Structure 1
Amino acid sequence: MSDQLDTSDIARLLNISRSRARWLRTDPGFPEPAGRNETGSEYWYETPVLRWAAGQESSLADQAPLLYRPASGRPAPYLSATALDGHLMLSWASELGKVGFLHTPGPAEVSKTPRALQRLVSLADVAVLVGVNGGLWNMWGPELCAVDADRPDRPYMPRWTDVQQAIGMPVPYWIPGLNQPQKMARWRPGSPPAVVPARHPYLDTAPLLRLFSDEPDASTAGQAALALAREIDRRFTREIVSEINAIHKAMDKEAIALATTVDPLPRAAELDEVILRDGWAQILARTDQLARDCVGLALSWDGGFSFPYGDLAELDPQRSPYAREFIARLQPTPATAGHSVTERTPVHTWSDPATDAPAITSDDGLVYAAVPFRIPSTGELTEAVLHDGQVWIRTSDDTLYLAPARSGNGLSWGYSGSGPTTLAELLDRLLDDITTPALHASTSPDDFPRGLFELVRGIPQNGSAVLTRAQLLAARRQD
């Protein structure tokens, strides 16, 4: 049966003859046609037809889903909260039959999709099983899905008001992430919302909090770990508050009883960037599993935005003499938490003695090196090298560094775009201060000397260049 129902479809839907379906269409209360198809014929949608049928005589009402049928709205006896194949089902003895409302501790709202409910209704011993449909929303609120036990092949989407009318009270709703099993099992009709601290459903901040508790009070590593744990929980708290506000604005808001609310987090002072990056440098240098877990959380959260590394460089010693020069100074080191930033299985693990940045040799023969957020030198820029897609900076003590770069804001040349503009601005700043940190992508031509941009733009993308300090200063003066 298609989404657009004609008279024959309505007859099959209501299990009546086509002639009776034509006659029912003349009933003043029958739904108005939803429109006309390409042939000019009228069509209807299933839900309005079934809702109309639910209020008719029993032969028609029996064809409608249970929750569409009229109910008095008197409070139904609440039965219990019972475990059901890893879920928690609340149940009521309604006048329409036993109503089960399914919840899942944790974030797994996807478990209440139509297919899952069709499987679970046979285990539930209820007349109808209802759940939130995979975290989807519509104008009424979080989208519901229901399956009647006597017709499991026909899932449908009731409104919250339908369930409220059946059980005679607002329907309890636990926001994913605040749905703790113990609090859910203790719920009773009329219970006030339980106050629950927000904990991200997919990112467990426990390793960060443990590292913080293990460190001395003045430890920058402990402060960095705590700052990330607070950031994760604070942002998730904002998401929860946003969902609570959305429920308060939903059309079925009076039918939804929030069973939990969030415990607001106190506003903490922002940690100084120098302390933050130093703290993560200490964590990244550790070899224990707790440090690795914390680094993994940071990578999952924001790609390690506060690490002392801004990007990852892929270096091929067969193609680039500068890569060979850089690789030659690497020193072997035990695998640290920092080596996980490469997100590859290492054959060898290294450290750059000039920056302490980790590097690995992969099984493909390439070297993957973390790019320092800034160059730790007291010298000055003597040349910038553009070769094999990589930007190198040589300083007055003849040390070769990977140019500071942020992940997602790469440095490049040979065209008009954010890569060359960011490179031009970075070179401008490095000429005056070699410790300039990696830049966000440049957005305005006024942010850097135009001559430097024209210089790097004019170098072919697949070409290379060694730009001396004198050349860079001369280009800068051409504005």
Structure 2
Amino acid sequence: MGVGSSYLSRTEVQQLLGVNVFGMWRLVRKYDKFPNPTEKPHSPFNGQEPEEVWDGTQVYSWAAETAEFAHRGAVLLRPLPENPAPGGWAGYRDTLRGPALDWHTDLGVIRVVHCDDRKAATDVASAIVNNGNKDSVVTVCALYGDMGIRGPALVAADTAHPGIEYEASWGDVAALTGQVLPWWPDLLRLSSLIREWKPGTPAPVVEVPANDNEKILRRVAANDTFDVTSRVAATDMANNIRNNRIDNTNHEIEIFCKDRYGDTPNQVIAGAVPDTRHHPLPCDGDRQALKSGWLALALHTHPDAVAALEIAVGREPSLLPFGAVTEIPVRSGTISDRWTHRLTMCDPTAAHAVLAQDGKAEAFFIDPLTDMPVLRTPGDGGKQVWRFYAPLSLPAGGAELASVVLHHTVWVTTSDGHVHPAPCTPTEHLWWGDGWGDRPSEAAAVVNQLLDDLGTTINLRQHYKAPKGLTALFNEEHKLGTELTRATLLHARMTPPRTR
């Protein structure tokens, strides 16, 4: 996406402009706006000193706008022909970077590639040249991925100099073709649709294709292996994905196919529109029911349960019964060692498989007090680590927070003798010490809530409002293994930090 960088040596600039050494010396003095040389980005691997070069796009664009060199400059930046003859559609072409439409114009054939990948224009123009340019294409335009003043923004690469890209105007291309040009939203930018397009035909109504995530969730929803609550949860998320994809497609069309910019009509029409007959599909059902369904999937052993859970972790982790992923080293005699002694070895579930993150796992466990999945892995360099989901809440049973121990994460000891990783929401993490301007308000907020109710479900949406005294306490550089007693924590909560 965007205009690719290219660099020209002094000799290449002379060849581009058709001047000799003296001519190069003259134009630098004659034209104040002639681009200054720059240094080609230096690679530490080639062992060469940076050389003086010119930005190819700048030189090529400057030439198109300078009368003496316009005939050697960027084709679509030169002054347009006066009263150009109406162009015409020249059909569909397959290219190495996706579907394209050809247009006959006074300048020659312009090929518009409906792709917004980086270097698409250069790659297609280079291929045309290498294959003999049988269609007499003068320039290739690809989508920039953004909206220009007179329609979708374009990147162009001329077949005369395919390695140099520059920005072009959709409005200029439309003026040369003499007609409104089609544009397809990203999810409907399909070869089959572009191949069938013809000028003057109404935009077809097309079903937005399902992505891989929706397909997986639909497969789970149709599988009797899973219980009804799991299938309902999968259907709800699949419907949400489909609704979002249709909404995004409609929004793209609204932006890129605006009727006009100011008083000037935009020469763009949608090549296809999404089918909205059943839109929106029902979703965002009862959250407790959805959570029950995802919990059942997390405890399942079917491969599709793993795939579905991976989607939920990335899309809406708040529906899952797990907090943040946490890793700690395996160390005997530490606070974490007390916790790991109560873990129960088990067969892996979908939750364990997602927690493993494609890595190796030596053994799988579950915390019998919080039901959190845990696994032991070799870690980097063969140093064993425990990886687990932090709980969202702790079992209270009438107990209260006795102390907090800081050892790779925040640990909670309770008045009834238990040790737990501190609860934490899926998208946050618990830390302490100087954060280079960022303060550990998450840890302070967790402790503040646990001091009042050990069994509370942690809410970190407004962690920045944690008591300033607690935040200041966790902002200190505590040594690993430091224990902060309940009395210390309560005192910090009541005591505003000293101003420096």
The 8 Å contact of residues 338 and 358 in structure 1, kept in 2 or not, is answered as yes
- What is residue 275 of structure 1 aligned with on the other side? 289
What is the TM-score of this pair, normalised by structure 2? 0.74
1:361 paired with 2:361, answer no
The 8 Å contact of residues 216 and 222 in structure 1, kept in 2 or not, is answered as no
For 2:344, which of 328, 331, 336 is the aligned residue? 331
Q: Describe the superposition over 1:327-352 as per-residue Cα deviations: whole angstroms up to 9, x where unpaired.
A: 22222233322122342321222222
For 1:371, which of 355, 379, 390 is the aligned residue? 390
- Structure 1 residue 143 displacement after superposition: 3.4
**Structure 1 unpaired stretches of 5+:** 27-31, 39-43
For 1:212, which of 198, 209, 221 is the aligned residue? 221
For 1:341, which of 334, 352, 355 is the aligned residue? 355
For 2:95, which of 65, 84, 108 is the aligned residue? 84
- What is residue 483 of structure 2 aligned with on the other side? 465
| Cα 1:397–1:141 shift into 2, 3 Å | farther
- Structure 1 residue 293 displacement after superposition: 1.5
For 1:130 and 1:113, the matched residues in 2 are separated by: 6
What is the TM-score of this pair, normalised by structure 1? 0.77
| Cα 1:100–1:311 shift into 2, 3 Å | same
- What is residue 313 of structure 1 aligned with on the other side? 326
> SS where residue 326 of structure 1 aligns?
helix
Q: Describe the superposition over 1:102-135 as per-residue Cα deviations: whole angstroms up to 9, x where unpaired.
A: 235xxx6336142453234544633234232553
- What is residue 126 of structure 2 aligned with on the other side? 118
The 8 Å contact of residues 331 and 350 in structure 1, kept in 2 or not, is answered as yes
For 2:72, which of 63, 69, 74 is the aligned residue? 63
> Match for 1:160: what amino acid?
W
> SS where residue 214 of structure 1 aligns?
coil
For 1:15, which of 11, 18, 24 is the aligned residue? 18
Q: Describe the superposition over 1:174-203 as per-residue Cα deviations: whole angstroms up to 9, x where unpaired.
A: 2222212322221111233334455687x6
> Match for 1:329: what amino acid?
R
- Structure 1 residue 476 displacement after superposition: 5.3
- Structure 1 residue 312 displacement after superposition: 1.6
> SS where residue 364 of structure 2 aligns?
strand
1:435 paired with 2:451, answer no
- Structure 1 residue 207 displacement after superposition: 0.6
For 2:7 and 2:177, the matched residues in 1 are separated by: 32
For 1:91 and 1:357, the matched residues in 2 are separated by: 59
- Paired residues in the alignment total 452
Matches of residues 46-195 of structure 1 in structure 2 within 5 Å? Answer: 46-47=60-61, 49-51=63-65, 53=67, 62-67=71-76, 68=78, 70=81, 72-85=83-96, 87-104=98-115, 109-110=117-118, 112-123=120-131, 125-126=134-135, 127-133=137-143, 135=145, 138-195=148-205
| Cα 1:36–1:238 shift into 2, 3 Å | same
> Match for 1:112: what amino acid?
A
| Cα 1:34–1:320 shift into 2, 3 Å | farther
| Cα 1:195–1:383 shift into 2, 3 Å | farther
> Match for 1:110: what amino acid?
R
> Match for 2:232: what amino acid?
Q
> SS where residue 146 of structure 1 aligns?
strand
- Structure 1 residue 33 displacement after superposition: 5.9
**Structure 2 unpaired stretches of 5+:** 38-57
For 1:195 and 1:37, the matched residues in 2 are separated by: 51
For 1:324 and 1:19, the matched residues in 2 are separated by: 78
| Cα 1:471–1:99 shift into 2, 3 Å | closer
For 1:229 and 1:14, the matched residues in 2 are separated by: 57
For 1:349 and 1:296, the matched residues in 2 are separated by: 18
For 2:464 and 2:232, the matched residues in 1 are separated by: 35
For 2:238 and 2:387, the matched residues in 1 are separated by: 28
- What is residue 384 of structure 1 aligned with on the other side? 403
| Cα 1:278–1:129 shift into 2, 3 Å | farther
Q: Which moved more, 1:179-188 or 1:44-53?
A: 44-53
The 8 Å contact of residues 445 and 463 in structure 2, kept in 1 or not, is answered as no
The 8 Å contact of residues 347 and 360 in structure 1, kept in 2 or not, is answered as yes
Q: Describe the superposition over 1:357-405 as per-residue Cα deviations: whole angstroms up to 9, x where unpaired.
A: 2211111311111112222454432423313132223445544322111
> SS where residue 128 of structure 1 aligns?
strand
For 2:89 and 2:489, the matched residues in 1 are separated by: 78
The 8 Å contact of residues 96 and 124 in structure 2, kept in 1 or not, is answered as no
The 8 Å contact of residues 144 and 155 in structure 2, kept in 1 or not, is answered as no
Overall identity of the aligned pairs, in %: 23
Q: Describe the superposition over 1:418-448 as per-residue Cα deviations: whole angstroms up to 9, x where unpaired.
A: 7643333323322343332233264555x54
